[in-house]
């Protein structure tokens, strides 16, 4: 479950730090209404990160 962009980035970092040979695609799951309402801003923030 994702509540912030950092939740997605944490999984990406964990895969890199563990030297995963075939990394999984990370997709945020916004389950609570408040998280879903904040999802557009969270996804926009993720896409703005280089």
Q: How many separate domains does the chain show?
A: 1
Q: Which long-range contacts (C-beta less than 8 Å, at least 24 apart) are formed by 6-11?
A: 8/46, 9/46, 9/49
Task: Please report how the helices 5-17 and 33-48 are oriented relative to each other, as an axis angle in degrees rounded to 10.
Answer: 60
pLDDT value, residue 50: 75
Q: Which tokens sit at 24?
A: 């999984």
- pLDDT of 9: 95
Q: Name, in order, each residue with C-beta under 8 angstroms of 39's C-beta and a sequence gap of 6 or more.
A: 28, 30
pTM summary value: 0.80
**pLDDT tens, residue by residue, 1-50:** 899 999 999 999 999 999 999 999 999 999 999 999 999 999 999 999 87
**Which structural domain, as residue segments, surrounds residue 23?**
5-48
pLDDT for the residue numbered 14: 98
């Amino acid at each position: 479950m994702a509540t912030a962009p950092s939740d997605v980035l944490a999984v990406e970092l964990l895969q890199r730090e563990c030297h995963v040979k075939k990394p999984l695609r990370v997709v945020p799951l916004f389950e609570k209404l408040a998280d879903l309402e904040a999802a557009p801003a969270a996804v926009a923030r993720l896409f703005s990160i280089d």
